[in-house]
Structure 1
């Protein structure tokens, strides 16, 4: 059994509560996950996995390592210590949290959208994801990004990618676990409200062990995290909730960097560990190179890091000596292969010097060392970012796209009604044309019902050449619906007493927004999906519903699924 109890347990959205009260003994329901159950039962030995691979820059994991993992993770320094593609950076949005309505922060969402556009403009080779505290803020960012994309259609290819492992996403804390991208933008959302007041209510973060959600959010990136917030650490009032205090500490860390952790995680400040290393350091410095001893933050340090002469933010070469770090490895496998793979995967070029060789053939070892440094600098100059990362040598996993049926067997393609051209004498804005409009509405309802009023307007505009649906035309259409032999249910029109017994999917450019699909049709689609698979998570049902109707936005689908689940539960209760 492997897992991380410092991150989120499985969701409890579909959790079923039994009717039995129990006999007071410990039950499996007392544990949030199978991992906690196995650790709590005492039947298994616990073995901590300490090596951390994902973060290609130590700043990405340094906060979590100290605050959540007690500094026990072994992390590896990156060859690129600073730059626009690595590390953690804070952006202050100066937005307002709409506590009275919307529960979002539009100004902050607009800054996030700008950061997304900036990323794909300047870093198109890196994958990107956006994480928010709430679904409301995620929807606000979707809206802001839609607006920002209107003037940057050249970037559409980055938003149309459906690759689950690499595509751009915007997700809330509750649904992002398991995802990772090169760069993550973390939108806090909360901040001063309309009255300028800041509270310590941060939604899901305030739940028991809510800090695990924070830990998930800030560890999704491989290279860079951008924190966009409308408040600073000092703006958050004191709280007894440990999770709120962790958020305050992380905002401080994002803005001030490593010094906020009250430990030296930058240049180690450590010198050579032996006279042998001192000798090597002296030789490298005599050649005019800038170097740093004991590069790293936790668990493993590179003995000597030689900086690139023209790009001081990049280490051109790592020099390892036959010293403490080498002999401290418990096994030759760790020492020779795994550490070298991890460090090369983080962008390091490595050169090893043996103490015995250094003293027996000093001239020859110095020539090898100088050649290694010059080659490393030259190779770094041949790449844009200093070094092309080497991936860890892991078994190749063959994948194949899942083939989704374009039209499920229980669905049918949406068919457009033939409305016909407008009669010569008919003027849609005049009352005398209401009977002609009623005939057109009747045809639309017979073929497309239940049909949304917006779609009726669109059909009439196309067929009758109506330039704009003004208030007079709108009133005439409403009156025509009353004249026609149809029934109106709020914004939908259909033949009277006709049951909804089909799910219609887009075909030939007939895609509908989820809001333009009748609740009964959406509910039928949910029921048929569940019948096909038997059981499915809430998130998967939302995604499947949006995919079925070719909707780019999942927010409306999410509300439909929530309503469907509530109605299903009510139906079950009525039969008890």
Structure 2
């Protein structure tokens, strides 16, 4: 089984790699070529000109609409706000295949409709337990968030009301320690989030600091608390180890946010080295408030409650928007931004809120959270019905036998529906587990897919720093002593060689895939033109050498058909050594053509005859160029000319007819567009317009392939 699982993992990794490569290949194959040679009237030429001229005299919206035929081929994904969609994307543009809304709980329906209308299908992603849109956003930030702000209906709410199909994404990955999300999971999600325990699960990564600050001395702020936060920031930036983790600061009010920002800038102005460290970090420090932190995350979050006793020691139990209806959603957002650690800065002890009589759920949950931050899981009162029942199998027996060996063991490690079945505490550090044992128990059984059971769950634990060992029930029942011995051997090996098992929790493993860079392929349907140049010495009477002449005509057709009557006559005369193609030579040529049964058609306003081999299809997929002397344009059959026209339009998109003539002529090595070229291409275009292969667009100013227009409509 172990080998089968390893093979399965290898196949999954290979499949991921191939999927990425295939996606890149598909996107690359659609990429149009944009270069100096693109016709100015082509979409590529228009875009090229706009880029060079920095879009002078033309708005981005106008440019996007004008080059919409190639825009999504160059940029298959647009990352935009709904306002940007309305500003830059004309409704006349082709629709996107799919529109995806993220953080949809914050998006008013009225603002989302415009973006939705620009797509063929819709995915709305959001969390109904987090912040709804408020009138704060409509006020453009002119109203302080302490004001009473009305919650608005979101696109997420409306999609739910109309019964759109929905799926719940229950696995939680952001928090690298279960204590960071446990409060939210228990209080707001009914313990339905699947979270993963950490190797140091016995620790609490949410801590509490009472700064003994005073609220309201300066414009509804708490300067002591703000200074304590900035001091903590400086401490972390000075430490080579601590500075590796990014910092986010969240305040309960906008004025407190401004004070923290000002104090932070003062600190940086005095310590330029710390400012440089911050600027060079992968994620610089952010300072945000309850209303605008959603969607952000950092390794460490410093939370400023701000509100507290005034300078007379009186507490008013007002916590800004937390007290308002829906305040618990704002609290949920604020306390779920950390990846590794959260420090809560307050100016009072949590017990001060025991006598609070507020009916606001937000205020009540804040009181509960402050107790959780100070006292840990022991202070967490879990609502009825949200306690995860422990289901134990062979792990209990394994635990008992390991205890007999002298190890300290916990069974069912974790606080959500996923558990590490057996956690063996490190004999050298009682604050961490040295090894976790996964059995084919409840967590294994409840996973929906083989990939979840055998790859996703172990990988999630590996990223958190666990050393994991898998034990199968039938192995244990078959030979329990051997299984226990293997576990003990693994534990001692980790103790003896800790460096080999060391995890870097900050490492984010990425798949390294190398892509071969190639120039964008342009369509090219041309092939070399092979002229018939053989000459014969003709003897005897006219009738006596007719068989030789038949062979010459046949060879010319094999080389050059389809060929115009004029070129065929000249090639025939040259082959038999005639100085000019007089009436007798023409008569012999027609005689041979009749005997060979060749096909003849007439095109270009009924002025030119072309001859084809008897077995030759008139549906060509190539055109011919080169030869000792380029053919005149009217010596090219329309069946060949349309292939060159198709190539130009495929490579450049719809263009003006004059540009089309110029580029088609160049394809046949004709440098100037004279009357003959002009009339010949016009004749061909009219023919294929009537056959619905070509079409005129943009008020009959550009010519395009019908297939290009149909693709744009789709």
Say whether the fold is shared (TM-score over 0.5): yes
Within a 5 Å distance, the mapping from 1:3-152 to structure 2 comes to: 3-10=126-133, 12-13=135-136, 15=138, 32-42=153-163, 44-81=164-201, 87-98=205-216, 101-122=218-239, 123-149=242-268, 152=271
**C-alpha separation in 2, matches of 1:271 and 1:47:** 26
Question: What's the CA shift for 1:127?
Answer: 1.0
Shift in alpha-carbon separation, 1:345–1:397, aligned structure 2, 3 A: same
Question: What's the CA shift for 1:48?
Answer: 2.1
1:388 aligns to 2:504 (yes or no): yes
Deviations 1:428-481 (A, max 9, x none): xxxxxxxxxxxxxxxxxxxxxxxxxxxxxxxxxxxxxxxxxxxxxxxxxxxxxx
Instruction: Say whether the 8 Å CA contact 1:303–1:321 is kept in structure 2.
Output: yes
Match of 2:637 in 1: none
Shift in alpha-carbon separation, 1:327–1:171, aligned structure 2, 3 A: same
Question: What's the CA shift for 1:13?
Answer: 4.4
**C-alpha separation in 2, matches of 1:299 and 1:396:** 33
1:249 aligns to what SS in structure 2? helix
Question: What's the CA shift for 1:112?
Answer: 0.9
Instruction: Identify the range of structure 1 (292-301 vs 192-201) with the bigger mean alpha-carbon deviation.
Output: 192-201
Instruction: Say whether the 8 Å CA contact 2:133–2:152 is kept in structure 1.
Output: no
Instruction: Say whether the 8 Å CA contact 1:270–1:293 is kept in structure 2.
Output: no
**C-alpha separation in 2, matches of 1:328 and 1:157:** 49
Question: What's the CA shift for 1:149?
Answer: 4.7
Question: What's the CA shift for 1:225?
Answer: 0.6
Deviations 1:340-362 (A, max 9, x none): 12221222111011122223344
Match of 1:323 in 2: 441
1:292 aligns to 2:407 (yes or no): no
TM-score by length of 1: 0.59
Question: What's the CA shift for 1:263?
Answer: 5.1
Match of 1:216 in 2: 333
Match of 1:193 in 2: 310
Shift in alpha-carbon separation, 1:177–1:39, aligned structure 2, 3 A: same
Q: Which of 179, 184, 193 is matched with 2:301 structurally?
A: 184
Match of 1:333 in 2: 451
Within a 5 Å distance, the mapping from 1:156-167 to structure 2 comes to: 156-161=275-280, 166-167=283-284
* Count of residue pairs the alignment pairs up: 375
Question: What's the CA shift for 1:318?
Answer: 0.5
Deviations 1:128-184 (A, max 9, x none): 111101121122223333454566544233332485xx1111111122111111110
Question: What's the CA shift for 1:254?
Answer: 0.9
Deviations 1:50-102 (A, max 9, x none): 1111111111111111111122111111112256xx61000000010126x42
1:314 aligns to what SS in structure 2? strand
Instruction: Say whether the 8 Å CA contact 1:82–1:314 is kept in structure 2.
Output: yes
Match of 1:155 in 2: 274
Deviations 1:278-324 (A, max 9, x none): 44223322333221111001111111001111111111110112333
Shift in alpha-carbon separation, 1:329–1:255, aligned structure 2, 3 A: same
Instruction: Say whether the 8 Å CA contact 2:135–2:152 is kept in structure 1.
Output: no
2:198 aligns to what SS in structure 1? coil
Instruction: Say whether the 8 Å CA contact 1:31–1:37 is kept in structure 2.
Output: no
**C-alpha separation in 1, matches of 2:315 and 2:181:** 28
Shift in alpha-carbon separation, 1:378–1:110, aligned structure 2, 3 A: farther
2:243 aligns to what SS in structure 1? coil
Question: What's the CA shift for 1:392?
Answer: 7.2
Instruction: Say whether the 8 Å CA contact 1:75–1:300 is kept in structure 2.
Output: yes
**C-alpha separation in 2, matches of 1:366 and 1:340:** 20
**C-alpha separation in 2, matches of 1:306 and 1:113:** 39
1:317 aligns to what SS in structure 2? strand
Match of 1:235 in 2: 352
Within a 5 Å distance, the mapping from 1:491-506 to structure 2 comes to: none
**C-alpha separation in 1, matches of 2:419 and 2:212:** 39
Instruction: Say whether the 8 Å CA contact 2:209–2:346 is kept in structure 1.
Output: yes
Within a 5 Å distance, the mapping from 1:201-280 to structure 2 comes to: 201-236=318-353, 237-262=356-381, 273-274=392-393, 276-280=394-398
**C-alpha separation in 2, matches of 1:6 and 1:396:** 36
**C-alpha separation in 2, matches of 1:306 and 1:221:** 27
Within a 5 Å distance, the mapping from 1:343-492 to structure 2 comes to: 343-378=461-496, 380=498, 387-389=503-505
Question: What's the CA shift for 1:369?
Answer: 1.9
**C-alpha separation in 2, matches of 1:53 and 1:397:** 24
Question: What's the CA shift for 1:330?
Answer: 2.8
1:174 aligns to what SS in structure 2? coil
1:333 aligns to what SS in structure 2? helix
Match of 2:125 in 1: 2
Of structures 1 and 2, the larger Rg is shown by 2
Question: What RMSD, in angstroms, separates the aligned Cα atoms of the two structures?
Answer: 3.1
Instruction: Identify the range of structure 1 (369-378 vs 58-67) with the bigger mean alpha-carbon deviation.
Output: 369-378
Shift in alpha-carbon separation, 1:4–1:234, aligned structure 2, 3 A: same
**C-alpha separation in 2, matches of 1:361 and 1:80:** 31
Question: What's the CA shift for 1:334?
Answer: 1.8
Question: What's the CA shift for 1:30?
Answer: 9.4
**C-alpha separation in 1, matches of 2:469 and 2:337:** 31
Question: What's the CA shift for 1:46?
Answer: 3.3
Instruction: Say whether the 8 Å CA contact 1:272–1:303 is kept in structure 2.
Output: no
Shift in alpha-carbon separation, 1:35–1:160, aligned structure 2, 3 A: same
Shift in alpha-carbon separation, 1:136–1:302, aligned structure 2, 3 A: same
Deviations 1:171-217 (A, max 9, x none): 11122111111110001111111232211322222332122111111
**C-alpha separation in 1, matches of 2:310 and 2:172:** 39
Shift in alpha-carbon separation, 1:124–1:156, aligned structure 2, 3 A: same
Shift in alpha-carbon separation, 1:390–1:299, aligned structure 2, 3 A: farther
